[in-house]
A and B are shown apart, each in its own frame.
Chain A
Amino acid sequence: MSGTFMGMPAFPDAAREAVRDPVLRANLRHATHTIRDKRARAVAELADWERLRAAGKAVKDHALRHLDRHLVQLEEAVTAAGGTVHWAADADEANRIVTGLVLATGHREVVKVKSMATQEIGLNEALEAAGIAAYETDLAELIVQLGHDRPSHILVPAIHRNRAEIRDVFTAEMGRWGRPAPEGLGDDPRELAEAARLHLREKFLRAKVGISGANFMVAETGTMVVFESEGNGRMCLTLPETLISVVGIEKVVPTFRDLEIFLQTLPRSSTAERMNPYTTMWTGLGPSRGADGDGPSAFHLVLLDNGRTDTLADEVGRQALRCIRCSACLNVCPVYERAGGHAYGSVYPGPIGAVLSPQLRGTGSAIDASLPYASTLCGACYEVCPVAIDIPEILVHLRERVAQGGPVTLGGVRVRIRPARGHTAERAAMRAARLLLDRPGALRAGERLLARARRLRPRRLPGPGRAWTDGRELPQLPAESFRTWWARERGERA
């Protein structure tokens, strides 16, 4: 029922539409600025923030460096605690596994906790095709699902909607999926939250199958961790008889103690709280193996690759796998604030999406080849990242890959890709620059010529260079080149 990201236009085209929408821009500006200031205050409370950040980075790097060992250890621990572990190499396989597990229960309805991994693989569409109704229970996901919309933010998928729009969606759509919105529903956030509570309660109470992701998986103990705020997570994780968790393989951390870092950095970075209202940790079926009626009697963990091992194979790009999905980088990004999440053509929008999507999916499509350019490289994203992902570094690395081609890993196979289309002029310019810079005489002659012709500088470049000057002024040419100036000032010593 929700839209998909298939066949998305390249980022500049999608963004051009988005920046013309004044309501969208106002909604995004209001929301991102609200959270930005609060987050800064929450982070400033911890004098050791930078040390926590360094520790979080190191934990994730260590976990990834020995990912094979940690996953096998996790599998053993989950199995020992009564759970079942499945491995899915790609989205199709994960969808097949989950659909099969749901069908085997005999039920045709599932409740879902917000999960980026299940969005990434298009699980809801796969379930729908198999005749299974999947109900999103996170408030923002509910708004997106009821509005036949697409998510535009990692933490708050309906960030592009304001309260009045949400009221209209609830009033128009809730009745078709269950309990209708109350008569005369207003647009106060409290009233809207109450409407969601009433609408979803009947679904929680009768649910037999729950589907979730996880924020962390602990290798040594087999413990799964879900951070949330509303209580919909607790409902989905504890009330159904069968629980299926679909989790990317990069979510593993080695030890239970490692959580002491992320329990401090994730809530503050994400919702700007000292701690989010609810965090659930569970290990398989628990000490009684599900016999005490506390939680599900069957637990399945589906470990998802879907491009993650390809990303891991890239020395520069692999740091993106440290991401804990806090979304702080979206909230500070000047490009995201203006273009909105939809323009990124992926469930992962914003700066982290611009480095994650082209790695998980490859740079073959127009949207994925354009994402590394969806940034001003200002570096605000790197500064706020609680696991110190150098997003600008990866962006530049991916731009090089798009413009020049080169070695990448696709589906576990090392291949050499060709340059993407549309970068011919850029490559020609770079080749010409190299030719010139290798020949000092030619460079000197060229510089003199340009300096003399500086009055003739056009405002816009002709031909293939035009795209470049569409959004920029051509710089002023100086009266003399640096080399001439240097020779004049310090010439005798040269």
Chain B
Amino acid sequence: MSSRDRILGRIRRAVADGGPDPAVPRDYLRVHGVRTPAETADLLAAHLAEYRARVHRADGDGIAPLLARLLAERGARTVLVPSGLPPRWLAATAVTRVEDRPGANPYELDAVDSVVTGCALAIAETGTIVLDGGPGQGRRRITLIPDHHVCVVRVPEQVVDSVPQALPLLDPRRPLTWISGPSATSDIELDRVEGVHGPRTLEVILLSGPAE
């Protein structure tokens, strides 16, 4: 008998007595509060900042100069650019662009200073950004190995209030990365310290105005 059959057989015997099989009560809240879109964006900004992400705001005209400034302040010489990122966003910077290639090995990515991406959506109540590898987001590793990640969130259309609102908008077949602040650890005396293996600096730009 294979282990598969053995395990499945043991399970069937184990639950033969019936056991609890309740309907799942879904009476928990879909959202924790009533907010205008502007208030939701403010909450997102506040919660991101609480976990030490740096939050900026820009409109369609302001994003290129803002990105140029952030990269300059960081002292970045190279910036990773996933395919599908609106070229206009990086129009004002002279920092060397590095296109992500599927064949690029981790050492090449480790040598890049910064990365700029979009996102799939953001969740205000938890201060979370979700990436799904769609246009302008790239492979999961490009937002992991460089030490500086700048993520652009379109406000209000990419922002939802809560986790229950986010899941129906995501496709589980795509690789999903949920990011809430820069990497952190509580492993030393259960005290939170920001900055371990993932990017130690996370900057989020809340971009308002018409999509291009």
Contacts and interface: CB of A to CB of B under 8 A. Distances in A.
Interface string A34-67: 1100000000011110011011001101101111
Contacts of B164: 260
Contacts of A329: none
A61 B175 contact: no
A258 B197 CA distance: 29
Nearest to A138: B187
A59 B28 CA distance: 13
**Among A138, A189, A275: residue with most chain B CB under 10 A:** A275
A284 B188 CA distance: 34
Contact of B180 (A34, A189, A275, A309): A275
A181 interface: no
A367 interface: no
Interface in B131-156: 133, 139-141, 144-145
B141 A239 contact: yes
A397 B21 CA distance: 22
Contact of B24 (A31, A58, A294): A58
A192 B189 CA distance: 12
Contacts of B4: 87
A54 B25 contact: yes
A87 B7 contact: yes
Contact of B179 (A196, A278, A309): A278
A263 B170 CA distance: 14
Interface in B1-45: 2-4, 6-15, 17, 19-29, 32
Interface stretch (B67-75, B102-110, B203-211): B102-110
A492 to B, nearest CB: 49
A55 B28 contact: yes
Nearest to A187: B188
A139 interface: yes
A273 B29 CA distance: 19
A88 B3 contact: yes
Interface residues of B, number: 78
The B interface is mostly helix, strand or loop, or mixed, namely loop
Given A156-B186, A156-B190, A283-B172, A277 B7 contact: no
Interface in B43-82: 47, 51
Given A72-B8, A201-B197, A293-B102, A271 B186 contact: yes
A72 B4 CA distance: 10
B187 to A, nearest CB: 4
B186 A274 contact: no
Nearest to B186: A271
Contact of B183 (A81, A264, A277, A287): A277
Contact of A34 (B101, B133, B166, B191): B191
Contacts of B32: 45-48
Contact of B185 (A55, A65, A139): A139
A76 to B, nearest CB: 13
Interface residues of A, number: 104
B187 A309 contact: no
B198 A27 contact: no
Given A87-B4, A93-B3, A412-B10, A230 B189 contact: no
Contact of B25 (A51, A137, A293, A294): A51
B24 A55 contact: yes
Contacts of A393: none
A313 B186 CA distance: 37
Contacts of B98: none
A468 to B, nearest CB: 36
B107 A318 contact: no
A159 B174 CA distance: 36
B92 interface: no
**Among A81, A193, A279: residue with most chain B CB under 10 A:** A193
Contacts of B91: none
A230 B26 contact: no
**Among B9, B22, B168: residue with most chain A CB under 10 A:** B22
A155 B192 CA distance: 13
Contact of B127 (A197, A223, A275, A282): A275
B163 interface: yes
Nearest to A279: B178
A259 interface: yes
A2 interface: no
B94 interface: no
A310 B186 CA distance: 34
Given A239-B106, A275-B126, A287-B173, A52 B198 contact: no
Contact of A281 (B14, B28, B47, B175): B175
Contacts of A223: 172
A409 B189 contact: no
Contacts of B167: 256-257, 259-260
Contacts of A315: 17, 19
Nearest to A159: B190
Given A88-B3, A281-B176, A229 B47 contact: no
Interface of B: 2-4, 6-15, 17, 19-29, 32, 47, 51, 101-104, 106-107, 110, 123, 125-128, 133, 139-141, 144-145, 163-164, 166-168, 172-193, 195-199
Interface of A: 27, 30-32, 34-35, 45-48, 51-52, 54-55, 58-59, 61-62, 64-68, 71-72, 81, 87-89, 93, 137-140, 143, 155-156, 158-159, 162-163, 166, 189-190, 192-194, 196-197, 200-201, 204-206, 218, 221, 223, 229-232, 234-235, 238-239, 249, 256-261, 263-264, 267, 271, 273-283, 286-287, 291-295, 303, 305, 309-310, 312-313, 315, 318, 409, 412
Given A293-B139, A309-B7, 9 more contacts: A71-B7, A137-B197, A156-B187, A189-B193, A193-B195, A218-B172, A278-B180, A305-B10, A409-B14
